[in-house]
A and B are shown apart, each in its own frame.
Chain A
Amino acid sequence: GEDVEQSLFLSVREGDSSVINCTYTDSSSTYLYWYKQEPGAGLQLLTYIFSNMDMKQDQRLTVLLNKKDKHLSLRIADTQTGDSAIYFCAESSTNQAGTALIFGKGTTLSVSS
């Protein structure tokens, strides 16, 4: 079945770049997503990429997609303490009911000043 894998922790210093990596299994996923979750809160959509693209940039965020290797990454430039959160990678998955999301376990990003 579908599976999404992420490293569990990443620690960076303020001002550095952060790179969060993700691998997925469903090659038919049309879209891939990055969500951010702060403690006790819901998920905030950060960005998403269509599967026929290999890069998308949105201000400090850069998403790279290697469809051949089923590898997705999120780069956060000039990381700030406010970026500390859990980041979830997700792939779209179509079942009989519609298109749902399959999430990774999340990468906890810790930013130190």
Chain B
Amino acid sequence: GAVVSQHPSWVICKSGTSVKIECRSLDFQATTMFWYRQFPKKSLMLMATSNEGSKATYEQGVEKDKFLINHASLTLSTLTVTSAHPEDSSFYICGVKIQETQYFGPGTRLLVL
């Protein structure tokens, strides 16, 4: 399977600051990457679909100006949480689509104080 990394794995920030999370596909080129959010003891919620070289497609209810996604290359997608608030604290996971499957990164835990 594909190897997907995320950086950072943990981040604690103050309310009002912005946080950037990177997702890298280490051994495959990925035209499509996905960003999910997972609340404690809950399922993964798809936030947006990121296609290389084009604008991301956001799911209903996800603010595109708050969660900025950039997919500038076939191996890197970034999610920036702008003006973070405590309610943005969550576990963010990226997925990389390789043929018919998705492989996931190890996740980034964000805590906004």
Contact = CB atoms under 8 A, between A and B. Distances in A.
Q: Do A and B bind each other?
A: yes
Interface of A: 30-31, 33, 35, 40-45, 48, 88, 92, 95-106
16 contacts: A41-B107, A42-B4, A42-B104, A42-B105, A42-B107, A43-B44, A43-B104, A45-B102, A45-B103, A48-B101, A92-B100, A95-B57, A98-B49, A98-B51, A101-B44, A105-B42
Chain B, interface size category, equals 20 to 34
Contacts of B107: 40-42
B95 A101 contact: yes
Contacts, number: 60
Interface of B: 1, 4, 6, 32, 34, 42-44, 46, 49, 51, 56-57, 93, 95, 97, 100-107, 109
Contacts of A88: 43-44
Contact of A97 (B6, B49, B105, B106): B49
B31 to A, nearest CB: 9
A82 B80 CA distance: 35
A69 to B, nearest CB: 22
Given A35-B104, A41-B107, A43-B104, A98 B42 contact: no
A104 B45 CA distance: 10
